[in-house]
């Protein structure tokens, strides 16, 4: 047992979960949500920012609905990969996440809210003590960032989840619930710098589901993932390119998003619009790829060096766009 002590709560309804969260909040008792556990539990075993209370969503039935336009937060990634109801690219991306064993536990909500990663951070407690901790888990020491020293104002840990880029390109809306309110926002607005803040979730809030607009089936595209091994590995870079086509095959709309490169996924609307407005076939794709490469700034905290990851963004963007050139 490597787990630090915590009290596990297992509510059996969403309301129950939220009121429990409210109670814990009111009494100033810190807690985490646990969905599939494939991200949180290893982090807990390594004593990474663990809390004295954990609320499990495993028994909350409301969060598992799945249809073309509604994806519950507790939908297991493997179920998403196997689903014929969802957009095929969502299923494909889901099937590329980690390993089949991880996907059977891991959930959509957990993937969207994946904690940021860094090789100075994702280590055991003893290991981190040997580097005198880091900014993301300073253990009360006020430790500096180990990736970019001499700045303890920003965490540059990397967001390495696969689902977000495609869902952002498909125009997904994310729905949140907390003890006192429910709210929704475009997924593109959900993520917030830095590697510690990560997203818009307020204390006590959770993701209930994502919805997709009615035109979801009109989008085509691809997701390209860079990784060392074809299972287990997080994306070292991921690029989703999605478009709607005119009858002549040229794109009428175009969206591009990236992951695995910075502390939050990137939604590259300016680059996509520029490409769309000056669409010229192959050379436009090259320009888009170069623009996306320029737009991302990876740092040295994952398996591949950042210079390589950045160069590969260009290759991945081109490859993800290859369908655009098939007329």
Partner 1 sequence: MVQFRLPMLPAPDEVPWSALVNGNEVSLRIEGNAILLDVLRDKAGSLGTKRGCDMGTCGCCSVLIDGVPRLSCLTLAQEVSGCGITTIEGLADGHHLHPIQKTFTECGGSQCGFCSPGFLVVISALLEENPAPSDTEIKDAIEGNLCRCTGYQQIVDSVRVASEILASGDNVEDSTTAKSDPHPSYGGN
Partner 2 sequence: MSEDKNRVEGYRQQSGKLPFSRPGSGGSRKTSEPRDEDKIASIRGNGGHKHDDVVTGSAVGRPTALIDGRWKVTGQAQYGDDVRLPGELVGRIVRSKHHYARVLSIDVSAAIKLPGVVAVATGQDASGRFGVLPVTKDEHAMAQEKVRHVGDLIACVAAIDEATAREAVRLVEVEYEELEAVHDMRQGLEDSEEPIHDRGKYHIGASNVQKRVFQEFGDIEGMSANAVVSHNSNWLFAGANHGFTEPHAVVANWDPSGRLTLYTPQQVPHYVHRALADVLDIPMHQINVHRTFVGGGFGGKSDPFPHEMCAAILSRKTGSPVRINFDREEVFWVNRGRHPSRIGMNLHADSKGRLCGIETDALIDGGAFASFGHVTTYYNGVLHTAPYEIGAFHYTGARVWTNKPASGAMRGHGAVNSRCAVEVGMDDIAEQLNVDPITLRLANLLPPHSATITGFRVTSIGMRECLERVRQASGWDDKFRKLPDGHGIGIGCGFFISGSGLPIHWEPNKFPHATVHLKIDMDGGVTVHTGAAEIGQGSDTVIAQSVAEVLGLPLDMIRIRSRETDTSPVDLGSYSSRVTFMNANAAISAAMEIRQELLEAAAAATDVPVERLVIGDRRIYRKDDPAIGVSYLEALHKAQEDKGALVSSGAYRTPPMGRVHKGAGAGIAPAYSFSAYIAEVKVDIETGQTKVLKVWAAHDCGKALNPLSVKGQIIGSCHMGLGQVLSEEMKYGRNGHLINPDLLDYKIPTIHEMPEIVPIIVESNDSEGPFGAKEAGEGPLLPILPAVCNAVYDAIGIRTSELPITPDRVHRMVEARCKQEGVAPLDLSSPELHHSELQGVLEARASEHASRDAARTTDSAPSDYNNGALFGFDPEIPADEQDERWVVSVTPSSDYMESPRLAGSAWKHTERRHGGDS
Site residues (vs partner 1, CB under 8 A): 1-8, 10, 34, 36-38, 41-42, 45, 47, 50, 54, 56, 58-59, 98-102, 104-105, 125-126, 129, 133, 139-141, 230-232
Q: How far apart are CA 226 and CA 159, in angstroms?
A: 14
Nearest distance in Å: CB 63, partner 1: 14
- Among 27, 28, 140, 229, contact with partner 2 (rule: CB under 8 A): 229
Longest dimension (CA), the chain: 62
**Between 19 and 130, CB nearer to partner 2:** 130
Q: Are 167 and 90 in contact (CB under 8 A)?
A: yes
Q: How far apart are CA 42 and CA 64, in angstroms?
A: 23
Q: How far apart are CA 119 and CA 304, in angstroms?
A: 11
Residue 250 site contact among partner 1, partner 2, none (CB < 5 to 8 Å, cut-off depends on kind)? none
Which three-class secondary structure string do you get for 314-326? HHHHHHHCHHHHC
Nearest distance in Å: CB 119, partner 2: 5
Is 12 a binder of partner 2 (CB under 8 A)? no
Q: How far apart are CA 249 and CA 41, in angstroms?
A: 46
Q: Are 131 and 146 in contact (CB under 8 A)?
A: yes
Residue 226 β-bridge partners: 237
Residue 200 site contact among partner 2, partner 1, none (CB < 5 to 8 Å, cut-off depends on kind)? none
Q: How far apart are CA 211 and CA 283, in angstroms?
A: 34
Residue 181 site contact among partner 2, partner 1, none (CB < 5 to 8 Å, cut-off depends on kind)? none
- CA 171 to chain centroid, in Å, comes to 15
Paired sense of beta strands 220-226 and 182-186, if any: unpaired
Q: How far apart are CA 321 and CA 240, in angstroms?
A: 9
Near partner 2 by CB under 8 A, which window of 106-114, 202-210, 251-259, 303-311?
303-311
Residue 249 site contact among partner 1, partner 2, none (CB < 5 to 8 Å, cut-off depends on kind)? none
- Among 7, 15, 19, 127, contact with partner 2 (rule: CB under 8 A): 127
Is 254 a binder of partner 2 (CB under 8 A)? no
**Between 132 and 215, CB nearer to partner 1:** 132
Residues that bind partner 2 (CB under 8 A): 1-2, 5, 99, 119-120, 123-124, 126-127, 129-131, 226, 228-233, 303-305, 308, 311-312, 315
């Amino acid at each position: 047992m490597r787990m630090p002590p915590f009290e596990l709560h297992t509510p059996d309804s969403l309301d129950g979960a939220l009121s429990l969260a409210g109670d814990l909040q009111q009494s100033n008792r810190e807690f985490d949500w646990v969905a599939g556990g494939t991200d949180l539990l290893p982090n807990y075993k390594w004593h990474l920012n663990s809390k004295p209370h954990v609320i499990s969503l495993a028994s909350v039935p409301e969060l598992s609905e799945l249809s073309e336009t509604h994806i519950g937060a507790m939908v297991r990634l493997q179920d998403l990969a196997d689903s014929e109801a969802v957009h095929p690219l969502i299923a494909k991306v889901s099937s590329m996440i980690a390993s089949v064993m991880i996907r059977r536990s891991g959930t959509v909500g957990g993937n969207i809210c994946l904690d940021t990663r860094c090789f100075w951070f994702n280590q055991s407690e003893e290991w981190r003590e040997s580097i005198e901790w880091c900014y993301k888990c300073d253990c009360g020491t006020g430790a500096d960032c180990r990736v970019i020293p001499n700045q303890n104002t920003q965490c540059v840990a990397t967001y390495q989840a696969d689902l977000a880029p495609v869902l952002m390109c498909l125009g997904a809306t994310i729905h949140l619930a907390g003890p006192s309110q429910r709210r929704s926002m475009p997924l593109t607005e959900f993520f917030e710098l830095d590697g510690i803040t990560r997203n818009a979730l307020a204390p006590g809030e959770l993701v209930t589901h994502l919805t997709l607009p009615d035109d979801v089936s009109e989008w085509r595209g691809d997701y390209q993932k860079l990784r060392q091994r074809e299972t287990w590995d997080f994306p070292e870079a991921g690029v989703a390119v999605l478009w709607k086509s005119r009858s002549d095959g040229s794109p009428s709309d175009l969206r591009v998003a990236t992951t695995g490169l910075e502390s939050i996924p990137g939604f590259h609307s300016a680059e996509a619009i520029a490409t769309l407005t000056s669409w010229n076939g192959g050379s436009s794709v090259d320009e888009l790829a170069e623009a996306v490469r320029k737009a991302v700034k990876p740092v040295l905290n994952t398996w591949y060096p950042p210079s390589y990851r950045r160069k590969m963004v260009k290759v991945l963007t081109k490859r993800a766009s290859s369908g655009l050139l098939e007329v």
